Amino acid sequence: MDIPMEDDNEVTDAAEPNASSSKQGRKRFPSDSPMKGFLNNRDQFLAITLILKGHGQNIPVSCPFCPSRKEPIAPTFRCTDCVSTALMCQDCCIERHKFSPLHQINTWNGTHFERISLRRLGLVIQLDHPDGSRCPLPAKGPAEFTVLDITGLHHVSLNFCGCTSSVWSQTRVQQQRWEQLLLYEWFPSTTTRPKTACTFCCLHQFHLMTLTGKITAFDYYRSLERLTDNTGKALGSRYKAFLRMVRQWRNLGMLRRAGHGNDGERKVDATKPGELAVPCIACPRPGINLPDGWNKALRQSQFLYCLFIAIDACFRLKRKRISSWQKDPSLQDGWAYFVEQEPYKEWVLKMQAQKEMSTCTGLTALDHANTKYNIGYDETGKGAGLCARHEILLANRLGALQVGGRYANMDYIVASLLRHIPPAILLLLSYDIMCQWSKKLYARFMALPPLVCQILTRRALKLVIPKLHILGHLLKCQENFSLLYTEGSGETDAERIERVWSGIGPVATSIKEMGPSSHHDTLEDHCADWNWMKTVNKLLLKRLLNAVKQYKRQYEAWQSFTEHQHSEAPKWMKAVDDFEAKHTEDNPFSLPECGIHIYLCI
């Protein structure tokens, strides 16, 4: 099948009339060259943008919004956020912005427009009752209250509700000021006499921008400052307050996504380890997406209920030696993707003298396991595990590394994520150094702390090396740990974890400067978004449709091969079945020694 090399919407040149080729260019339309329309009218575009910087062509002598019975007043104010650019008087400007108090207002000073706040014009924001009724008992707020919004930083005059008996306060106790701000969709920077808040709209916008484009909080806040004043004027920094609110907003978002808050009796502190992680909807989950009797399936069908897990380390996700867990407490320790900090830290300190030895060439992870550059860093990377087929990050599967990908760290991380997988589920573990890591694996897992200790002998377990990484291993490793020789692996390459590092990696530059808890909470938020987008996108559907088509094609090829090799095929199939069922240790995929000598002689 021919693959088109050009975009369907790309403009193509029409074929020359005298060209020998019969191929003709497609019919062209004016919309094919939208830039021509702009170039032909660029002077008018420029003129209109300049007109909007001034009074314009029509200067009204009276405010068009004033009641007819009122004495005409010359309009001098204009809102840059409203749809209309009409000038208005001061009273009308205040009246029209009672429910839009964060709009940017300009005033004409005789020669040009200059910025002026609604606060200076006399607008006082009143936090009324939730039912829309006016509060009869206003309580004066701080002399200067700052609100962060998508339009910039705003200094406003604010009155709280002082009522003790209203729809607002059903318990006849005056509502806390931070609660009133939340009900107004302003997120308070503190619960004690708040003087700064951030609109939900602003927090939501930054959240999506940082998840999508990995924009930093500093750059976003700097843009808000420039929207407010683009001359470099000092505005009074609210950056630290913004960072606090962003962390709290992220935490609340993860709690809501996990269904917290719907049960009024259960408190947030009762959250279980890994409960906030977005699960993989396609992986086998007993009682949810598996049929009755799945655990009694024949060996030939057991791969349908196998969970493929890829583990790896990323040395890009570092964290500098900044702050501490005491000064920077976590909001969700162990609730999502990271392992619980304290038991993990104790285990790592206990095993810090562990040394890794390699008998296979080209294993950088082991060559640097004890020598990874770590001066000035508390964490030199992250170890992780994920669903190898669907690229979904698993619960309690992230752990910090100190001096490279040591066995002690990776053992704990893998055992931690296995806590959430029923023992009856068949497992396939993939690791780029599996040939070395698998040695004494059962004994090492038995020696882990009680919280994560795993008895692997009770699990059906397959160990493999990703398809790309295995090419750098010895021939013996390629024979014993290849996915190509693993029953039920299909087209799984186990390299998907590298794609996760590529997607989340750009955030590394900013999070390495954070304290330990904010670093972990931020990274977990990006992991949650990765899982969510994998869940709602159509990638899994595309793979399913392709698998159905490829199954028919491969089955026909297998039938044809079996028919042409009818004398040998039964013997080969039996050898493979015996090997996969572990009835024999003879690997039918291994090239015999005599074959190697013959190959070398050719």
The answer to whether residues 512 and 380 touch, using CB atoms and an 8 Å cutoff, is: no
**Confidence at 10, pLDDT banded by 50, 70, 90:** very low
Is 186 part of a structural domain of the chain? yes
Is 156 part of a structural domain of the chain? yes
Which pLDDT belongs to residue 9? 47
Residues 455 and 491 in one domain: yes
Which pLDDT belongs to residue 57? 63
> Structure tokens of 427?
């497992």
% of the chain with per-residue pLDDT over 70? 87
- More confident: 104 or 458: 104
pLDDT in tens, 170-184: 555 567 899 999 999
Residues 518 and 586 in one domain: no
Q: Which residues contact 539 (CB under 8 A, 6 or more apart)?
A: none
**What are the two backbone dihedrals, phi and then psi, of residue 209, each rounded to the nearest 5 degrees?**
-70, -40
- More confident: 3 or 518: 518
Helix (H) or strand (E) holding 126: strand 124-126
Residues 113 and 133 in one domain: no
Residues 349 and 487 in one domain: yes
Residues 591 and 462 in one domain: no
Q: Is residue 568 scored above 80 in pLDDT?
A: yes
Residues 110 and 180 in one domain: no
Is 296 part of a structural domain of the chain? no
**What is the identity of the amino acid at 594?**
C
Which pLDDT belongs to residue 359? 65
End position of a domain, from candidates 216, 233, 257: 257
pTM here is 0.86
Is 129 part of a structural domain of the chain? yes
Residues 512 and 372 in one domain: yes
Is 63 part of a structural domain of the chain? no
Q: Is residue 257 scored above 90 in pLDDT?
A: yes
End position of a domain, from candidates 87, 120, 153: 120
Residues 523 and 560 in one domain: no
Residues 137 and 233 in one domain: yes
Is 575 part of a structural domain of the chain? yes
Rounded to 10 degrees, the C-alpha dihedral 525/526/531/535 comes to: 100
**What is the identity of the amino acid at 73?**
I
**Confidence at 5, pLDDT banded by 50, 70, 90:** very low
CA distances from 416 to 369, 403, 409, 465 (A): 21, 20, 11, 21
Which pLDDT belongs to residue 589? 78
Nearest to 562 by CA among 575, 552, 571: 571
**387 forms bridges with which residues in the sheet?**
309, 392
pLDDT in tens, 287-345: 999 999 998 888 888 888 999 999 999 999 999 998 888 888 899 999 999 999 999 99
The domain total for the chain is 4
- More confident: 14 or 463: 463
**What are the two backbone dihedrals, phi and then psi, of residue 311, each rounded to the nearest 5 degrees?**
-120, 150
Give the domain extent around 569: 544-601
Place of tokens 């038995």: 446
By the 10 Å C-beta count (0-12 exposed, 13-18 middle, 19+ buried), 342 is classed as: exposed
Residues 149 and 108 in one domain: no
The answer to whether residues 428 and 452 touch, using CB atoms and an 8 Å cutoff, is: no
String of DSSP letters for 260-303: TTSSTTS-GGGPPTTTTSPPPSSS--TTTTS-TTGGG--GGGGG
Residues 425 and 492 in one domain: yes
Is 514 part of a structural domain of the chain? yes
CA distances from 297 to 101, 307, 490, 552 (A): 65, 15, 19, 23
- Mean pLDDT computed over 353-375: 60
Which pLDDT belongs to residue 213? 93
CA dist 399 and 396 (Å) reads 8
Residues 512 and 567 in one domain: no
End position of a domain, from candidates 517, 537, 557: 537
CA dist 372 and 314 (Å) reads 12
Is 21 part of a structural domain of the chain? no
Place of tokens 């039920």: 488
